[in-house]
């Protein structure tokens, strides 16, 4: 389906839902949900704690299988793939930025960024050059030889972003990117994610509880009790937004 913007969705989510057994009762964490996510945008999923944000992100990124529904990423039905092929798809096409940074403490910032390229079999010289360029893009060109313990929270998060971007993935998934950051670093990280989406025409989909980020998002999807209660483009002129919604419906 082509949207009003003319872009083909990179993520097509159809009827996905998730439930967990809590004692003797099933708890519906994510209600059946259908969404199309577009390239070239920073899309944020917001909502109160326990609203199902991280569970939804985990399902659409291929990390957790939904109980029902389908996720098509770049035209591939994720949950029709074997585990081996799903792992290969994520390695080839996806970048991940986790809430706790997930950096290897014994590796320098540069080696942390090189690591996914090594998994892809990129030659050492090329991997080194690409990792240096990724660190430079996030403003850390002089910090590559430091271990994570010597970096601030904001710097660690930027290393994590560089590691996600170094593969030049079509899809980037971000879980609470500013949870450990002050206002200045939070804004810087969000600007990096939005700029990357636009410059590389990739899809950046994140979850956050931080209301400061909404001013930087192209699209905001609100979850409550596992259901989508709003889907808006807060920074688009109202008349343009109404037109886009009419065209998409």
Q: What is the pLDDT of residues 54-66, one digit of tens each?
A: 999 999 999 999 9
156 touches 148 (CB < 8 A):
yes
Does the pLDDT at position 32 exceed 80?
A: yes
Does the pLDDT at position 22 exceed 90?
A: no
15 touches 69 (CB < 8 A):
yes
How many beta carbons lie within 10 A of that of residue 65, not counting itself? 14
Residue 216 neighbours by CB under 8 Å, 6+ apart? 42, 187, 190, 191, 194
Q: Which bin fits 54, alpha (ψ -120 to 50), beta or left (φ > 0)?
A: alpha
- C-alpha separations of 9 from 16, 36, 45, 205, 228 in Å: 17, 6, 17, 12, 18
Kindly state the average pLDDT of the residues 244-248.
45
Does the pLDDT at position 76 exceed 50?
A: yes
Q: Which two tokens stand for residue 61?
A: 């990124």
CA distance 203 to 26: 33
Largest CA distance in the chain: 56
Give the model's confidence band at 5: pLDDT under 50 very low, under 70 low, under 90 confident, else very high: low
CA distance 183 to 19: 35
- pLDDT tens per residue across span 89-139: 999 999 999 888 899 999 999 999 999 999 999 999 999 999 999 999 888
Does the pLDDT at position 240 exceed 60?
A: no
- pLDDT tens per residue across span 216-231: 899 999 999 999 999 9
The model carries a pTM of 0.88
- Rg over alpha carbons for the chain, rounded to the nearest Å, is 18
Q: Residue 185 has what pLDDT?
A: 79
Q: What are phi and psi of 73, to 5 degrees?
A: -115, 120
Q: What are phi and psi of 43, to 5 degrees?
A: -110, 125
How buried is residue 100: exposed, middle or buried, by Cβ count under 10 Å (0-12/13-18/19+)?
Answer: exposed
CA distance 245 to 36: 13
Does the pLDDT at position 142 exceed 60?
A: yes
Kindly state the average pLDDT of the residues 180-184.
79
- C-alpha separations of 151 from 92, 94, 114, 180, 238 in Å: 28, 25, 17, 13, 42
How buried is residue 19: exposed, middle or buried, by Cβ count under 10 Å (0-12/13-18/19+)?
Answer: middle
Does the pLDDT at position 13 exceed 60?
A: yes
Q: Residue 3 has what pLDDT?
A: 56
CATH 3.40.50.300 fits domain 11-99+171-248: yes
């Amino acid at each position: 389906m082509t949207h009003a913007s003319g872009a083909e969705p990179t993520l097509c989510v159809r009827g996905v839902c998730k439930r967990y057994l809590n004692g003797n009762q099933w708890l519906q964490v994510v209600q059946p949900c259908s969404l199309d996510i577009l390239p070239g945008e920073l899309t944020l999923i917001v909502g109160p704690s326990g609203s199902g944000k991280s569970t939804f992100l985990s399902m659409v990124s291929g990390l957790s299988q939904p109980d029902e529904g389908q996720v098509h990423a770049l035209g591939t039905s994720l949950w029709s793939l074997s585990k081996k092929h799903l792992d290969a798809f994520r390695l080839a096409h996806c970048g991940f930025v986790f809430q706790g940074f997930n950096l290897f403490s014994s590796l320098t910032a540069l080696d942390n960024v090189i690591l996914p390229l090594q998994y892809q079999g990129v030659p050492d010289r090329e991997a080194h050059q690409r990792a240096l360029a990724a660190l430079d893009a996030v403003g850390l060109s002089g910090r590559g030889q430091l271990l994570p313990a010597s970096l601030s929270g904001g710097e660690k998060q930027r290393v994590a972003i560089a590691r996600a971007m170094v593969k030049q993935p079509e899809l980037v998934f971000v879980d609470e990117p500013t949870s450990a950051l002050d206002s200045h670093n939070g804004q810087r990280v969000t600007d990096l994610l939005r700029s990357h989406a636009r410059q590389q025409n990739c899809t950046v989909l994140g979850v956050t509880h931080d209301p400061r980020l909404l001013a930087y998002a192209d699209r905001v999807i609100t979850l409550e009790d596992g259901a989508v209660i709003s889907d808006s483009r807060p920074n688009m002129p109202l008349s343009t937004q109404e037109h886009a919604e009419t065209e998409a419906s």
